[in-house]
Amino acid sequence: MNNTCGNCRFFHEEIPQTFCRRYPPQATVIPVPVQGIRGPQIQLQSVSGFPVVQKEQSCGEWAVKLEFKPL
């Protein structure tokens, strides 16, 4: 078995991106340029999300994907 993100329990696909949901979403603050009354300014904006991964990546947190079959 190949221990890559694509066959990991924590892998989640939302076309066109794929995410790792091993841990809660990560919060980040990014500076965004805006046009203010006094000219160009920087405004801080917070964003959060799960880390973006590729199906072919491997990681030490890999776990078997659970598959539920109907009874």
Phi, psi of 3 (to 5 degrees): -85, 75
Cβ atoms of 62 and 8 within 8 Å: the answer is yes
pLDDT, residue 66, reads 82
| Tokens 């009354």 -> residue | 37
pTM of the model: 0.69
C-alpha distances in angstroms, 41 versus 29, 32, 46?
A: 16, 8, 17
At 14-47, the pLDDT tens digits run: 989 999 999 999 999 999 999 988 899 999 999 9
Residue 47 CA to residue 39 CA, distance in Å, equals: 25
Going by C-alpha positions, the residue among 7, 3, 8, 10 that lies closest to residue 50 is: 10
